[in-house]
Amino acid sequence: MSAKRTSIHGQWSSRWAFILAATGSAVGLGNIWKFPYIAGENGGGAFVLVYLLCVACIGIPIMMAEILLGRRGRRSPINTMRVLAREGHHHPAWQYLGWIGVLAGFLILSYYSVVAGWALAYVFRAAGGLFSGAGGEQVGEIFTALVSDPERLLAWHTIFVVMTMIVVSRGVQSGLEKAVRFLMPALFLLLAMLVGYAMSTGSFAQGVAFLFSPDFGKLTPAAILIAMGHAFFTLSLGMGAIMVYGSYLPDDASITQTSVTIALADTLVALMAGMAIFPIVFAHGLEPGAGPGLIFQTLPIAFGNMPAGTLFGTLFFVLLVFAAWTSAISLIEPAVAWLVENHGMSRVMASVWAGAITWTVGLGTVFSFNLWADDTLFGLTFFDLLDFATANIILPLGGLFIALFAGWTLSRRVTMEELGLDGIGYQLWYILIRYVAPLAVVIIFLNVVGLLRFG
Ligand code: PFF
């Protein structure tokens, strides 16, 4: 048994603290904002099924791999990959995996914070009673007024970036652990309430059928790619976020149990968001494929028409902001940990640098919804391109290499020791990480490339 390392950044106080923090990273805008709108754009049921399969067969094994690599290396992903490669006498190029993750973190956070800014803005719209008695059209206008105003978007984006930097600069344990402990259950309760409201709309069955009855005719190669990309995005995989959280995990915690718990909680939240939103969409004759504005154009109708809707609406958007916040922190942690380790920076300085870069790149997304709305490449705005490239290309590629490293490069002894598994449990993970996950990613990529080349 090799000597165990410790992280210079500290450690979670317990296994539960890690589960909460990693669930805080996983559950975010991806579940509540993104999942419903991409499910709506890609036809519902069959898309959801592919997403669930990807979570189970690709997501969970790769999450286990990321945590085990992080805990073994006990450093930022860049340095963890460098050290593990050196220890096993493997090629030093493996550390570039860490670099790709840092890049992906900046790119994702740059637009994530703009959308989180929408949620912030909606806290005040809900609290001000703006949605009272509102119908679909009115709510649509409120959304358009927000996104077409670059100055307002910029202000909210700036506030969210600053909020993220404040928590990151204080370190992962203080504040974060405590906040997540209370916020996750609260978010869950509020979502359950919204599902309850959706049941009263008269279109619940239609909404649920849309989400769960697969029509494979609607399943294009692009939809499969987006479903897979979303499995990575929603579980925070492929860029080192979970790896860096794993580097703070106590040695005696079970990686398998924690991974399964996190994936189940994340999936449940996404499905509940879908079950809350689609019945409202159908009850009000709205368009399921309305795009990124979907939740901002549907949930306010529910809040505007339910008893105590102002209170619940405000609470919901506050919780959405918190869910986004706990994810944003993990997007930037790999970069911050690396700056502290390699440049001797204080966490505060490292956070300021990371925030400045994120904020600047985020300007592109701010303008995508107004000034640059007509500037497109392949019909995609700057925001669309960033979102597509990060979620559907960079994260799955990162995940592919993580799977290859854990499954083919690291020795079986190391992975077995770190996972604490043997027998059939280990065999199952080994087959998934060595063959199933990498092959699935490659086949889904090739499927789309084939489509592009041969139409
Ligand atoms: N999982 C987050 C969500 O679903 O909102 C987004 C995210 C966080 C993606 C951290 C990637 C990441 F590393």
Of the listed ranges 9-13, 135-139, 220-224, the least confidently predicted one is 9-13
DSSP one-letter code for 377: B
CA angle 132, 138, 143 (to 5 degrees): 100
Residue 177 structural domain: 2-454
Residue of 233, 237, 269, 272 to test ligand 1 pocket, by largest number of atoms within 8 Å of CB:
233
Asked if the model's pLDDT at residue 134 lies above 70, the reply is yes
Average pLDDT over residues 436-454: 89
**How many folded domains does the chain comprise?**
1
The alpha carbon of 30 and the centre of ligand 1 are apart by a number of angstroms equal to: 7
Asked if the model's pLDDT at residue 210 lies above 50, the reply is yes
Q: What pLDDT, in 10s, does the model give residues 118-132?
A: 999 999 999 999 999
pLDDT at 391: 96
Kindly indicate the confidence band of residue 388, based on its pLDDT and cuts at 50, 70 and 90.
very high
Cβ(194)–Cβ(316) below 8 Å: yes
The alpha carbon of 235 and the centre of ligand 1 are apart by a number of angstroms equal to: 6
pLDDT at 4: 76
pLDDT at 175: 59
* Ligand 1 first shell, C-beta below 6 A: 25-26, 28-31, 108, 233-234, 236, 239, 241, 327, 330-331
Asked if the model's pLDDT at residue 274 lies above 50, the reply is yes
CATH at residue 180: 1.10.4160
Residue of 63, 111, 234, 237 to test ligand 1 pocket, by largest number of atoms within 8 Å of CB:
234
d(CA 175, CA 181): 10
Asked if the model's pLDDT at residue 1 lies above 50, the reply is no
The whole model's pTM is what? 0.95
If you average pLDDT over each of 103-112, 167-176, 242-251, 286-295, which comes out highest? Answer: 103-112
pLDDT at 185: 85
The alpha carbon of 105 and the centre of ligand 1 are apart by a number of angstroms equal to: 9
Asked if the model's pLDDT at residue 415 lies above 90, the reply is yes
d(CA 290, CA 286): 8
- Nearest residue to 361 via CA among 29, 39, 114, 95: 114
d(CA 42, CA 220): 8
Residue of 103, 330, 394 to test ligand 1 pocket, by largest number of atoms within 8 Å of CB:
330
Average pLDDT over residues 413-419: 94
Neighbours of 261 (CB within 10 A): 16
CA angle 132, 135, 136 (to 5 degrees): 135
pLDDT at 172: 63
The alpha carbon of 413 and the centre of ligand 1 are apart by a number of angstroms equal to: 31
Kindly indicate the confidence band of residue 3, based on its pLDDT and cuts at 50, 70 and 90.
low
Ligand 1, atom 12: nearest CA belongs to which residue?
Answer: 236
Q: What pLDDT, in 10s, does the model give residues 146-185?
A: 999 999 999 999 999 999 999 888 876 665 676 677 778 8
* Residue pointed to by tokens 């505007």: 304
Q: What pLDDT, in 10s, does the model give residues 40-62?
A: 999 999 999 999 999 999 999 99
Asked if the model's pLDDT at residue 455 lies above 90, the reply is no
pLDDT cut 70: percent of the chain above it = 97
Cβ(319)–Cβ(239) below 8 Å: no
pLDDT at 184: 81
Average pLDDT over residues 403-411: 97
pLDDT cut 90: percent of the chain above it = 82
